[in-house]
Structure 1
Amino acid sequence: MASPQEIQAILRDDRKLHEIAKAAFDAVDSDHSGFIDEPELKQVMCSVASDIGMDQPTDSDVRDVLRDLDQNHDGRISLEEFKVLIRQVLELMANQ
């Protein structure tokens, strides 16, 4: 796991942040459409919940996350929209 200093360095480096977001995005975008749709988002949310021992997300939970990330309201998440989530996660990790 990266240290808070390493995470801060990533947050200051747009190229590195983009690389990390792109790798995570590609792992979630199982149909390689260039977007994350609701089923793909649900799959990754369920996987993460299982990994950390949390309850499985409901369909409503998935829709809420999709709505929060989907800045242009097209019903799917683009790489740029996904980068917002990755930045937020890294910021939380850096402040632990």
Structure 2
Amino acid sequence: MTPTEAPPEHKGPRPLLFLDVDGPLNPYAAKPERRPEGYTTIRAAGRPFAWVEDEQSPADAEYVTRHHPARALLHHVDPRLGLRAPDFRALGQFAAGE
């Protein structure tokens, strides 16, 4: 099974989880020499994806709607609280196709 393939009991391609990480792991802001060894960016490429972010805007939702044909979840997380049980439930439901 490749990283994009889902296990046999799951229908469709495996969803991609995109966590917004500020600082040196940010693929758009970090210089390549500051990224950890083995760091890579993966594009959703038509797969369902969930984007966990503390600074989403209507422009982000519009871009995803216009350019990404697969299911997508733009999930806001309060940066003062971080990921909490309801966030994990929402992500789990999305990954399960609910």
TM-score relative to the length of structure 2: 0.27
- Greater relative contact order (Cα 8 A, min sep 6): structure 1 or 2? 1
Q: Which structure has the larger Rg? A: 2
Point out the structure with the larger strand share: 2
